[in-house]
Amino acid sequence: MSTYETMPFHLETERLILRPWAESDAAEFSDLLAERGKGKPPVERIRTSIGELLAATETTGIALLPIQRREEGDFIGYCGLIIGRSTLEEPEIAYELFQRAHGHGYATEAAGAVLEAAVATGRKRLWSTVATWNTASFRVLEKLAFERDHVSMEENGEVVWLTRTLP
Ligand SMILES: CC(C)(COP(=O)(O)OP(=O)(O)OC[C@H]1O[C@@H](n2cnc3c(N)ncnc32)[C@H](O)[C@@H]1OP(=O)(O)O)[C@@H](O)C(=O)NCCC(=O)NCCS
């Protein structure tokens, strides 16, 4: 059992709302994953994945949350905390947005709210792991005061570990 508070699952920023997954997000989540360029996962499988994400949150108290634009009301991606390559005590921040939503500062805005949510759980440190080619992701993390810590080598290439101490 974790000694940390459960992360708040409803976050609001100037332009965005982050809230828990609904089954009805499956089609758009599948479209988002299709932008990775390895085919579109069946919506049925994504519905199962959403169930698994919700179940994992029950035990960990941390979550990836869908991002909705407040004015347009549309789903543009997700942002949140995951164990990933790290630990429940010092989780990773993660985000992925539709290409049409890139370049408007949304990832930085969403990740800023997730960072505050992490502070609210009592955590003292976050991590993020980024492939060396991912300039946009490095820039988001730089804007949020993450610092490069070390590099690890994986099958698919080099991964940079960045960390952020929380107040
Ligand atoms: C990473 C990602 C979430 C960024 O989303 P976003 O909403 O466009 O990010 P923001 O607008 O908040 O910030 C992006 C910053 O990177 C900069 N940037 C983007 N592409 C760049 C490039 N090729 N070279 C240099 N800077 C770049 C932008 O100019 C911006 O910085 P600025 O505010 O100083 O101008 C988005 O590109 C994405 O979903 N990528 C695919 C999934 C992914 O890589 N996730 C992260 C895995 S670690």
CATH topology of domain 11-165: Aminopeptidase (3.40.630)
Closest atom of ligand 1 relative to the 109 alpha carbon: 12
Q: What pLDDT is attached to residue 166? A: 98
Residue 54 phi/psi, 5-degree rounding, is: -65, -40
For ligand 1, the distance from its centroid to the CA atom of residue 4, given in whole angstroms, is 30
Reported as half-sphere exposure (CB side, CA atoms, 13 A), residue 152 has a value of 9
Q: What is the 3-state secondary structure (H, E, C) of 70-82?
A: CCCCCEEEEEEEE
For ligand 1, the distance from its centroid to the CA atom of residue 81, given in whole angstroms, is 18
Q: What pLDDT is attached to residue 94? A: 98
For ligand 1, the distance from its centroid to the CA atom of residue 87, given in whole angstroms, is 25
pLDDT in tens, the chain (167 residues): 568 999 999 999 999 999 999 999 999 999 999 999 999 999 999 999 999 999 999 999 999 999 999 999 999 999 999 999 999 999 999 999 999 999 999 999 999 999 999 999 999 999 999 999 999 999 999 999 999 999 999 999 999 999 999 99
* Domain residue extents for the chain: 11-165
Q: What pLDDT is attached to residue 130? A: 98
Q: Does residue 140 contact residue 108 with C-beta atoms inside 8 Å? A: yes
- DSSP for 2-66, please give it: --SPPPPS-EE-SSEEE----GGGHHHHHHHHHTTSS-PPPHHHHHHHHHHHHHHHHHHS--EEE
Q: What pLDDT is attached to residue 2? A: 60
Mutational pocket test of ligand 1: of 86, 97, 138, 146, the residue with most ligand atoms within 8 Å of the beta carbon: 97
Place of tokens 């107040």: 167
The pTM is what? 0.97
Give the residues surrounding ligand 1 with Cβ less than 6 Å away: 95-97, 102-108, 130, 134-137, 139-140
Q: What pLDDT is attached to residue 149? A: 98
For ligand 1, the distance from its centroid to the CA atom of residue 138, given in whole angstroms, is 8
Q: What is the DSSP letter of 115?
A: H
Closest atom of ligand 1 relative to the 110 alpha carbon: 12
Alpha carbon 11 to its chain centroid, in Å, reads 13
Alpha carbon 163 to its chain centroid, in Å, reads 15
